Amino acid sequence: MKIAMLYICTGKYEIFWDEFYSSCEKYFYPEDSKEYFVFTDSERVIRLNSDRIHSFYQAKSGWPYDTLLRYNWFCTVQDKLKEFDFCYFVNANSVFLKTVKANVIPYPTEETPLVLSIHPRFYDDCLGETFNPERDPRSTAYVAEGTPCRSHCGAFWGGTAPAIMEMCRVLRDRTQTDLGNGIIAIWHDQSHLIKYATEVKHYNIAQGLVSYEEYMDPDKCVLMFPAKAKYGGNDFLREVDWKTKLSHLPQKAYGKTLRALKAVHMDGALRKAVHIFKK
């Protein structure tokens, strides 16, 4: 099989490239042919451009656009992606720990063309009761209360090349629609992925195979996302300035309030009342 790996490492996230690349080469479908499509502003990584590492200059857009606009960037190489059987995206801070073959993470098929992972903390939640899907009906990522949905993780997903190209086109257009209306979904690109997964057939990777370091079972995990706290934390890596931090306070207040309401099962009118804190 021929696999395209999609990867973004702008700004300080360049520090994760070497470990990701070496682990992916060693463990991720090692018998298949892999090529890397790397979006970066790192001169060092750009110089790696070769027959198998295709680097594309991408300036930092500032948080949260560095993650929200990923579908836009991937659409710029769709003519190249159509040459592959499968495409996978992995977060910059990703390390493969064990060999992944089709008996571990099955190949995408025509019947289930997308392969998705679920946040290990919310794996058993099938209605968005313990995590926060986008509940603002103005957003194209909106998921209504009571709609079956999962906390699909934006850090790792894949599928057949046609399915991934279609997904990226759809989510690019939806994020642009939201931005045109002055809306950013609560979990950015991940909110759009959560909504999209309610609409299309997909395969969910078995619990424990893909995990954040904080929640992983070392006997099961094959793909780990190292704790960012070891590298300075989210704000340091994202280079978030104080003005942006202040602008995020209402959204953080919204999320904390929702979690508190859910803990005491008081979602209804009170939940709607705190929507004002999100936008």
pLDDT at 249: 54
The answer to whether the Cα torsion of 80, 84, 86, 92 is positive or negative is: negative
Can you spell out the DSSP letters for the chain? -EEEEEEEE-GGGGGGHHHHHHHHHHHBSTTSEEEEEEEE--HHHHTT-SSSEEEEE-----TTHHHHTHHHHHHTTHHHHTTSSEEEEE-SS-EE-S-B-TTTSPPP-SSS-EEEEE-GGGTT-SBSSSS-----TTSTT---TT--B--EEEEEEEEEHHHHHHHHHHHHHHHHHHHHTT---TTTHHHHHHHHHTTS-EEEPPTTSEEEGGG--TTT-SEEE--GGGGT-HHHHHT--HHHHHHHHHHHHHHHHHHHHHHTT--HHHHHHGGGGT-
Model confidence at 278: pLDDT above 80: no
pLDDT at 251: 58
pLDDT at 276: 43
pLDDT at 230: 75
Average pLDDT over all residues of the chain: 89
pLDDT at 274: 45
pLDDT range class, residue 240, cuts 50, 70, 90: low
Q: What is the pLDDT of residues 67-117, one digit of tens each?
A: 999 999 999 999 999 999 999 999 999 999 999 999 999 999 999 999 999
pLDDT range class, residue 244, cuts 50, 70, 90: low
Which of 148-152, 247-251, 257-261, 267-271 comes out lowest in average pLDDT? 267-271
pLDDT range class, residue 248, cuts 50, 70, 90: low
Q: What is the pLDDT of residues 146-171, one digit of tens each?
A: 999 999 999 999 999 999 999 999 99
pLDDT range class, residue 135, cuts 50, 70, 90: very high
pLDDT range class, residue 123, cuts 50, 70, 90: very high
pLDDT range class, residue 228, cuts 50, 70, 90: confident
pLDDT at 242: 43
Section 109-133 average pLDDT: 94
Model confidence at 254: pLDDT above 60: no
Q: In this predicted model, which residue has the larger pLDDT, 248 or 257?
A: 257
For the segment(s) 2-240, the CATH number from 1.20.1440.80, 3.40.50.2000, 3.90.550.10, 3.20.190.10 is: 3.90.550.10
* Percent of the residues in the chain that have a pLDDT greater than 90, as a whole number: 79
Amino acid residing at 243: K
Q: Where are the domains of the chain?
A: 2-240, 241-279
pLDDT at 247: 52
**pTM for this entry:** 0.86
Q: What is the pLDDT of residues 6-35, one digit of tens each?
A: 999 999 999 999 999 999 999 999 999 999
pLDDT at 103: 96
pLDDT at 18: 97
